[in-house]
């Protein structure tokens, strides 16, 4: 009889899984020829993921619940519904990514989320136009300026505006119910950098909450409401585009925006105006609302301008 033992000696530094070195074991497995940025990203993901698991110490059932949640979230995604973006939004990740990519010089208008309801072909209006085509809600006059960080007016700057109507829906969510292009318009700043338009005071509305993310929010004791806001994208040649909101100061959800889009610098002073003569002048019922907003544009960063405009984040 001839018995030949087969045995094995470790050849690499982290060949086998151990709890203490778990992230290092996984990351040591990546190929040296893999794309350096992918290696960097995956190494960070694995490191922080393992740190989270070690802090949480999930039971097997909890791990399985997490797998099921991710699976349900994936199954909820269609061409018209992006539940993972909703998850990213409600956990503050979208806002963090937006903030990291849009650090501005002091004084320049801050960015916030683009949201899923932007469409690029809003009607082009002269200053003063009323974009509220359904006439719902409380009337508002919005006046403002666009300047650079030295206070010099940016003549010809484009102000692309959109918002939800008084029922809490954007036109694209209610095709056939709202007039097409309701509450959308593209305005141009004049030679002094000034613009103005008429609209309806925005109100809060819920993000879609009938999926796994809505259920999670509910379990976490959170509501799905976005603080009331006007959306604006302000662009001008040579300047960084600003994708931003103007928030009303009196919204009950201002401090609890479901997607963390509120920045203190983006809360405007809205004035409630009781003046029948001026209301008549604007074609408004009295009383009405008035807000003034000054945009400050930062100089363009090379290569950054196009990107922000053509990739829609959804919230």
Smallest separation (angstroms) from its own copies to the CB of 300: 16
How many Cβ atoms from other residues are within 10 Å of residue 180's Cβ? 11
* The pair of three-digit structure tokens given for residue 109, joined into one six-digit string: 């208008």
Q: How far apart are CA 115 and CA 85, in angstroms?
A: 10
Kindly state whether residue 256 participates in binding its own copies, applying the rule CB under 8 A. yes
Kindly state whether residue 194 participates in binding its own copies, applying the rule CB under 8 A. no
Smallest separation (angstroms) from its own copies to the CB of 76: 8
Listed ranges 18-26, 140-148, 170-178, 185-193: which one lies at the site for its own copies (CB under 8 A): 18-26
Smallest separation (angstroms) from its own copies to the CB of 279: 10
Alpha-helical (H) ranges within 77-151 are 83-90, 93-101
Smallest separation (angstroms) from its own copies to the CB of 301: 12
What x-and-dash track marks residues 216-255 binding its own copies by CB under 8 A?
---xxxx-------------------------xxx---xx
- Can you tell me which of 213, 267, 296, 297 binds its own copies, judged by CB under 8 A? 267
Considering the complex, state which of residue 84 and residue 169 has its C-beta at the smaller distance from its own copies. Answer: 84
Kindly state whether residue 302 participates in binding its own copies, applying the rule CB under 8 A. no
Smallest separation (angstroms) from its own copies to the CB of 166: 17
Burial-class residue 114 by CB neighbours within 10 Å (0-12, 13-18, 19+).
buried
Beta pairing class for 139-148 and 288-297: parallel
- Can you tell me which of 19, 121, 126, 150 binds its own copies, judged by CB under 8 A? 19
CA 179 to chain centre: 25
Beta pairing class for 225-226 and 205-206: antiparallel
Per-residue DSSP letter, 228: P
Which residues pair with residue 187 across a beta bridge? 159
Residues within window 87-146 making contact with its own copies, judged by CB under 8 A = 88, 91-101, 103
């Amino acid at each position: 009889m001839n018995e030949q033992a087969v045995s094995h000696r470790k050849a690499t530094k982290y060949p086998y899984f151990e709890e203490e070195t778990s992230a290092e074991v996984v990351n040591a497995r990546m190929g040296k020829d893999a794309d350096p940025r992918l290696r960097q990203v995956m190494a960070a993901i694995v490191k922080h993921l393992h740190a989270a698991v070690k802090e949480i110490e999930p039971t097997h059932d909890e791990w399985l619940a997490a797998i099921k949640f991710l699976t349900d979230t994936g199954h909820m995604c269609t061409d018209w519904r992006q539940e993972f973006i909703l998850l990213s939004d409600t956990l503050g990740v979208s806002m963090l990514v937006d903030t990291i990519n849009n650090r501005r010089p002091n004084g320049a208008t801050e960015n916030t989320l683009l949201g899923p309801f932007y469409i690029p072909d809003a009607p082009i209006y002269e200053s003063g136009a009323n974009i509220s085509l359904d006439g719902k809600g409380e009337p508002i006059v919005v006046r403002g300026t666009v300047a650079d960080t030295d206070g010099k007016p940016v003549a010809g700057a484009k102000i692309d505006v959109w918002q939800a109507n008084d029922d809490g829906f954007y036109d694209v969510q209610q095709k056939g119910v709202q007039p097409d292009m309701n509450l959308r318009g593209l305005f141009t700043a004049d030679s002094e950098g000034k613009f103005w338009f008429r609209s309806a005071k925005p109100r809060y509305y819920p993000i879609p909450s009938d999926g796994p993310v809505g259920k999670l929010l509910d379990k976490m004791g959170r509501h799905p409401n976005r603080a009331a806001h006007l959306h604006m994208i302000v662009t001008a040649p040579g300047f960084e585009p600003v994708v931003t909101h103007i928030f009303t100061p009196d919204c009950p959800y201002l401090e609890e925006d479901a997607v963390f889009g509120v920045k203190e610098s983006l809360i405007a002073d809205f004035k409630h105006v009781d003046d029948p003569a001026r209301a008549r002048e604007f074609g408004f019922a009295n009383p009405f609302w008035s807000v003034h907003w000054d945009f400050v544009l930062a100089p363009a960063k090379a290569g950054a301008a196009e990107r922000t405009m053509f990739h829609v984040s959804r919230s």
